[in-house]
Amino acid sequence: MRRVVSLVPSLTEAVAVTLPGLLVGATDYCTHPTGLDVARVGGSKYPDLARVLALRPDVVLMNVEENRRADADALAAAGVRIRLTYPRTVDAALDELAGLLRDLGAGAEPDWLRAARAAWAAAPPSGPARGAVVPIWRRPWIVAGGDTFASDVLRRLGLRNLYGHAADRYPRPSLDEVRGLAPDLVVLPDEPYPFTATDGPEAFPGTPCALVSGRHLTWYGPSLAEAPALLAAQLAHPVPGPAPS
């Protein structure tokens, strides 16, 4: 491979760090590594396909969940090779990354990927798991369900997703429904919705809310090496929800 365009921020970081010079294009939301100097082709959901094609990519990296099928079909119809990813567990993400980088020309697993495997090798904490809800959006409220990468990350850190058995992978419950589940913890990532100490916890009076890094919760790339330690620390120091009225 000689020219790669990535429409997935985590894959952008993985390729740029491992195979410098291979990446010729990325989305406007590909913020890592810092200072990445490649052509920008719009967003993940609505990339500028003309700009993608103008870069003459040998392969375009996409994700089943993050990118639209219509864009993948249009690029394929134009003769571009598409590489789709769809990891829903930590182990699947590590294996998909290894296969992708190998196919792109990496001679061996990079140090960061070996470090990530070691970091996630530990078994989940023993003892009863705390019940958690993981909003990823508000207005309307959307939460992470089961069979999602974020849900598996939290399971590996000792939490039980209260929407883990929902029929939808990303349910849209009412706020009253979420509160009625009486979660032990509400996990509020800073992306895709930018939850903060003043935007999110107020919706869950009396419930501890952990503000966590969305990149470490949902990205599968170099951030996986530091994710277990960082997320564990953030989960261990939740902000108290306001007192019930």
What's the burial of 33, exposed, middle or buried (CB within 10 Å: 0-12/13-18/19+)?
middle
HSE, side-chain direction, 13 A CA sphere, residue 106: 19
CATH superfamily to which 130-235 belongs: Nitrogenase molybdenum iron protein domain (3.40.50.1980)
Count the residues in the chain.
245
Domain boundaries, the chain: 4-86, 130-235
The answer on pLDDT for 245 being more than 70 is no
CATH topology of domain 4-86: Rossmann fold (3.40.50)
Global pTM? 0.92
- Per-residue pLDDT reduced to its tens digit, 15-26: 999 998 999 999
Angle between helices 9-18 and 111-119 (to 10 degrees): 130
Token output for 16:
């740029």
Q: 3-class SS at 78?
A: coil
For 84, phi then psi, to 5°, come to: -95, 140
Q: Given this model, what pLDDT does residue 126 score?
A: 79
- Per-residue pLDDT reduced to its tens digit, 79-103: 999 999 999 999 999 999 999 999 9
HSE, side-chain direction, 13 A CA sphere, residue 35: 2
> Which pLDDT band holds residue 124 (cuts at 50, 70, 90)?
confident
The answer on pLDDT for 4 being more than 90 is yes
Q: How far, CA to CA in Å, does 204 sit from each of 60, 164, 239?
A: 41, 20, 11
> Which pLDDT band holds residue 204 (cuts at 50, 70, 90)?
very high
How many angstroms separate the first and last alpha carbons of the chain?
A: 60
CA angle 11, 213, 207 (to 5 degrees): 140
